[in-house]
Amino acid sequence: MAELTSVGDDLWCLRSGSLEVRLARSEADVRAAQSLRYSVFFEEMSARPTPAVAAARRDFDAFDEVCDHLLVIDNARGRGSRGVVGTYRLMRRAAAARIGRFYTGDEYDIGTLLQYPGEILELGRSCVNADYRNGYTMNMLWRGVAAYIFEHDVELMFGCASIPGTDPDALSLQLAYLWYYNLAPPGLRPRALPERFVDMRRMRQEDIDQREAMNALPPLIKGYLRLGGVIGDGAVVDTEFNTTDVCVIVKTDLVTDKYIRHYERRDRQPVLVHPAS
């Protein structure tokens, strides 16, 4: 069972065994997350780095400067930033205002999400070291996300989720399944930008084997769907990262309810957390 610990006036972490989950607290932490992203996206998945990214051997962009970076650290591997084995990039409205946009806006018209009255959170750049891709690590990562959205009263989270491959026809089953069975309601439905729009209805609904389609989806997208996630209209081919992206939207009720149930005190009051901001 993960233990929630306050480690300062404005810091928190979750610990279970040798693993801990917390926000990046230093430039070294952020660089460790970027190095992990480079290893996964560019070395393992053969994405195409810019010359600057290739020279630094770190995946970085302007969004990193305004985002919070959630880290999974294995202290048995190395203390602090040396033990980073998983990461997620988190951006709320205030951070997006500082840079002028959300990353997802490069691929989708997210006007419906921007009009949402509550706090919204963009999730991105999720990756885990190959040796740690198991339910235990992912569970810890999601507990960190839950703590973050609980503390900041986030009501809606979204982001681009990737399916490996850049041939939409080869991904017909997955894309059609997502469109027919998981399409977001109109009031929450982003749409791929016209110049990048790829129709997801690439096969007839009656020809879809739902079990086969679900099994073919990446674990991250399956995780979003299990939390009640829904999908925007249109896929986007990302040639830089060798993926086809879909926009996922999740209302956070289920995430925070699980978090509160796990960490509630005997008097049924939730444990307070103090995140770095």
15 Rama sector, left if φ>0, alpha if ψ -120 to 50, beta otherwise: beta
For residues 11 and 14, give the distance between their C-alpha atoms in angstroms, rounded to a whole number: 11
| Strands 119-128 and 154-164, sheet pairing | parallel
- 3-263 folds as Aminopeptidase (3.40.630)
Cβ-based burial of 97 (10 A; exposed 0-12, middle 13-18, buried ≥19): exposed
Render each residue's pLDDT in the chain as its tens digit; 277 residues. 555 454 443 467 899 999 999 999 999 999 999 999 999 999 998 899 999 999 999 999 999 999 999 999 999 998 878 899 999 999 999 999 999 999 999 999 999 999 999 999 999 999 999 999 988 898 899 899 999 998 899 999 999 999 999 999 999 999 999 999 999 999 999 999 999 999 999 999 999 999 999 999 998 899 899 889 999 999 999 999 999 999 999 999 877 676 655 554 333 333 323 222 2
pTM of the complete model: 0.87
The domain segmentation of the chain, as residue ranges, is 3-263
| Strands 154-164 and 108-109, sheet pairing | unpaired
